[in-house]
Amino acid sequence: MKYDVVLFVDSSIFGGIESHLVELAKLLQRKGVICKVLFYQNHDNQLFYNKLESNNIQFEFLNGSISSLKSAFASFSNDTVVHTHGYKAGILGRLMCKYLKVRCISTYHAGETGQGMVRLYNILDKLTARLSINFAVSKRIKYQLKEAEVLDNFIETTPLAVTSSTYHSANKLKVGFVGRFSYEKGPDRFIEVANHMVKQNMFEWHMFGDGDMQKTLDIPEHVVCHGVVPSEKIWKNIDVLCVTSRQEGLPMAILEAMNHGVMVISLDVGAVSNVITNNLSGWVMPTYDVDLLTRKIEEITKIAPENLIMMKQYAHSIVAQRFSGHAQWTLLHEAYSGQCPSRI
């Protein structure tokens, strides 16, 4: 079955969903599928728009009204598949697709319940799941839905060039937090670890991202807050990605770090343990314990450079084999082409 794909989203930041959309659109382009990103409204998310433009990915904006949504969806051809991402686009997209009899696919990225209106949106997001063919980025999220299939996040891999470690002896280990500044992502935990190790002169601490929680975070002087920057400026400036999340799906940041030769130490949340093999391709901590996490970060500086290179190479091979889009394309093509059961 021939098809084209509209990736529908309502996005105001550049985070995991946005990174996934870029990688998904790139995969569709490589497979010769006509696709575009459709925004419910323009939130001046310029970093995301620049990323789409740099990859020659078409995108358009609605004006944030139901009437513009209806008009756009009604103009789609019979071959068009709408693929929603995020709770707001998911709810609106599924309801409009049901009304207009447009084929609908949804990917569920986040497993957190949220608070206030976000919690309500998440409830509605799951209640309307029966109106679409559904993917979840982790088993935990899948089990929150009645019917869904796990679709791991993926990235376009690049060749890995690693040399001996540069942060032994005189140089410092650069430890980074990458993600949304929200309670679920645990930026406060990262700061607690940095404060716990402030007297040790062997480390640098870097945070990349922003979000609502930034207003209440007490970010100390020894932690450099870079804000939201292009990903290529992140991975060349840190040695270790430290994931302190309370809830997760499958973090895109982990895949990107492993692809770029950046080591990962993470709490065992979401699908992290499906990606990282402890002590082989990174480190997975069972629970958040600031003392235990501190000791593990200290241990990294004592690992022989040749062993670190082997770990980086193994981590990169895992991403290349399992999270580079090959297996994911099979699932996506079956859904887009109607080869899996439809409920709409």
Query: What pLDDT is stored for residue 169 in this prediction?
Result: 44
Query: What pLDDT is stored for residue 108 in this prediction?
Result: 95
Closest Cα to residue 269, out of 282, 286, 292?
286
Q: Tell me how far CA of residue 242 lies from CA of 223, 267, 272, 282, 292, in angstroms.
A: 13, 9, 12, 10, 13
What domains can you pick out in the chain, each with its CATH number? 4-154+325-336 (3.40.50.2000), 173-322 (3.40.50.2000)
pLDDT < 50 positions in the chain = 168-169, 342-344
Report residue 303 as tokens. Answer: 């690992």
Cβ count near 178 (within 10 Å): 28
pLDDT tens, 252-299? 999 999 999 999 999 999 889 999 999 999 999 999 999 999 999 999
Report residue 77 as tokens. Answer: 């051809």
Cβ neighbors of 212 (< 8 A, separation 6 or more) are 181, 182
Query: What pLDDT is stored for residue 117 in this prediction?
Result: 73
Query: What pLDDT is stored for residue 342 in this prediction?
Result: 46
User: What is d(CA 20, CA 268) in angstroms, rounded to the nearest whole number?
Assistant: 21
Q: If you count them, how many residues does the chain have?
A: 344
The CA dihedral of 101, 11, 261, 227, to the nearest 10 degrees, is 180
Query: What pLDDT is stored for residue 112 in this prediction?
Result: 63
User: What is d(CA 112, CA 185) in angstroms, rounded to the nearest whole number?
Assistant: 10
pTM over 0.85: yes
User: What is d(CA 162, CA 137) in angstroms, rounded to the nearest whole number?
Assistant: 29
Contact 205, 223 (CB under 8 A): yes
Report residue 194 as tokens. Answer: 């940095």
In what helix (H) or strand (E) does residue 206 lie, and over which residues does it extend? strand 203-208
Closest Cα to residue 186, out of 232, 237, 245?
245
Cβ neighbors of 49 (< 8 A, separation 6 or more) are 59
Query: What pLDDT is stored for residue 110 in this prediction?
Result: 76
